[in-house]
Amino acid sequence: MPKGMITGPQPDAVEAGAEILRAGGNAVDAALACAFVQTVVDPMMCGIAGFGAMQVLMPGKGVHEIIDFHGQVPAAATPDMWEDRILGETDDGFGFILEGAVNDLGHQAITTPGTLKAFAQASQRYGTLPWGDLIERAMRFARDGYTLTPGVQNYWTAPDTPGRVNVLDRLGYSAEGRAVYFDEAGTVRQIGDTICNPGMASSLERIARDGPEVFYTGEIAHQIDADMQAHGGLLSARDLADYDTQTDAPLWGSYRGLPFSTNRPPGGGIMLIEMLNILENFDLAAMGHNTPDYIRTVAEAMKIATTDKDAHVGDPRFYDVPMDRLTDKAYAASHAEAIARGEKAHVERLGTSESPGTTHVVTADAAGNIVTMTHTLGMMSGVITDGLGFMYNGAMGVFDPRPGRAGSIAPGKSRFSSLCPTIVFDGDKPILALGAPGGTQIAMGVLQVMMNVIDFGMTPQEAILAPRFSATSDAITVTARIPRYLCAELEALGYAIDRSAYSYAIASVHAIGFDADGNPSGGADIPYGDGMALAV
C-alpha cells in the first residue's frame, strides 16, 4: 500500500508535489512545490501575492501548528474611506459592492500579501529539501509554458457573478495580463493552448536565488512600491517590510466523539465547529442523505453559523470574537432545539458572491506527516506589475466599509475568510485531512464531506462526489443533481430554492482519508475542475 499521497485541483501541480515525495521530500516539501506550481498554472485562483492558511501535523517531531497568512489592510487605509460609496452587499454576504468597484478591482483592492512569507517559513521550519528545489518546477512551467486546462479556462470564461467584476476583466486588467492570457486579437487563450509567463519566471528565479526577502524588502518590493505609488494603491514598501504571519495551535472541535483540528479566526474553522455542534444533536443517518429533512436541518445550521459569523467573527487582534460561546455545545443545542421545532433562521443582507478564486492542497508522507493548506487571491485585484508576472490579491473587497463592525477596515487587520483546512482524528490517529477552495462556500463544502464520511460511511472520493447544497442567505442553493421533487418538498415548507446550473459546485473539496494502519486514500473534486489524487 502507498504511504504517501497528494491531492489538489491542478494535475500539473499535484504531479510536481508527487515528484518531491518520490525524491525523498516530506509532506511539507511536497505541499509547497505543489503550491508554487498552482500559482503558475492556475493564476486566478492563487498567487505568491495572495493569502491563506496551512495546517501542519508532524507527529514524530511533536509539531501540530497552523500558519495563518491572511492579507492585512495597508497602513494608508482608514475605517471610513469607502463609507459613502456603498451600493450593496453580495448575496452570500462575503463582500461589499462599492461605486467604481474600488475595493474589488485595481490597486486599492490589494492587501499586504502573506503567501510567500508563509511558504518560506514552512520550508525553514518543517521542510527537508532546499528552497530552490521547491520552486524549480514552477519556474519551468512559467518559463517553458504549461497547457491551459478545461477547468482553468472554464473559470476564466464563466458567467458574471452578480455585483462583481467578471473574471475576464480581471484577467485582462493589466497590460501584462493581456499579453500573457490573451492572443493578439484580444481573445482569451483557449483550452490546450500553451501559456508562457516570462515575468513570473523571472520573479520566481529571483525568489529562488535570493529568498523571500527579495519580495518583502528587496528589489521586487521596490518594484511593487513604485507601481502602487504610481497608481494610487494603498500598499507600500513599509507594509511589505512589516508583514508577518501568525503561528498558532489549532482550534479544536469534536463531532460524534471524533476530535478535529481546524484554524482560528479570521479563518472559517469556527463556523465549521458551530455547524457540527448543532448537527451532532440530530440522527442525520436516519434522516437519509440529502432528503428534504436532512437538507432543511443542515441548511438551518449553515444559516445560524453564517449569521453569527457576520455579527461576531473578525480578526481577533482587532475585535473581541466570542469564541467560547460560538464553540459551546450547549449554545449549539439550543439552536438545534429551534431547528427541531421547525423554526427558520434569518440571514440579514444589505441586498444587491465571493469569487471561488482559491485553491487547496493536501499531502501525506510515509512518516505520518500531513499538510492541508488553502491559499488564494480572494477576488483577484487584476493588477500585475510590469515585469513581475504575478497577480495581487483583491482582499479589500470583503472588508465592511461601515466602521465599528467585526469586519470593518483597520490598518494591519485581516479579513474573515471561509478557509478551514481541517484534520479529523480517531483518538490520536488522523482519519481524514481535507479543505477546499470556493469562497464563502468553503466551510459548507468541507462540512458536508466530513458528514458524508462520518455519518454515512463514504470513502473520501464518494464523499466529495455526492451532491452538495448551501445556505448562506435565506435561500437554499442546490446543485443540479439534487432532484426537483425533493426541492418541491422544501418549497412547500416555505424555503426559497436557488437551483444551480452546475452539477458540481459548493466549494471544490479535496481530501485524504486514512485506514487503521495509516494507509492513505485520496479524493479529488474531479468534475468541478481538473482535480487529481496521486499515491506515491
Contacts of 243 (CB under 8 A, 6+ apart): 72, 112, 113, 114, 117, 216
In this prediction, the residues of the chain whose per-residue pLDDT falls under 50 are 351-355
Contacts of 108 (CB under 8 A, 6+ apart): 102, 232, 233, 234, 396
Q: Look at the chain and count its residues.
A: 536
Catalytic residue among 39, 115, 358, 363, which? Answer: 358
| 8 Å CB contact between 505 and 479 | yes
Model confidence pTM above 0.75: yes
**H or E stretch including 97?**
strand 96-98
Q: What is the pLDDT of residue 175?
A: 97
b/e burial code for range 311-346 (CB count within 10 A of at least 16 → b): ebbbbeebbebebeebbebebbeebbeebeeeeebe
Contacts of 133 (CB under 8 A, 6+ apart): 20, 25, 29, 33
| 8 Å CB contact between 436 and 360 | yes
| 8 Å CB contact between 198 and 142 | yes
CA distance 508 to 270: 20
Asked if 422 is an active-site residue, the reply is: no
Q: What is the pLDDT of residue 135?
A: 98
Look at the block and give the residue holding cell 528587496. 218
Q: What is the pLDDT of residue 457?
A: 98
Q: What is the pLDDT of residue 355?
A: 46
Q: What is the pLDDT of residue 163?
A: 61
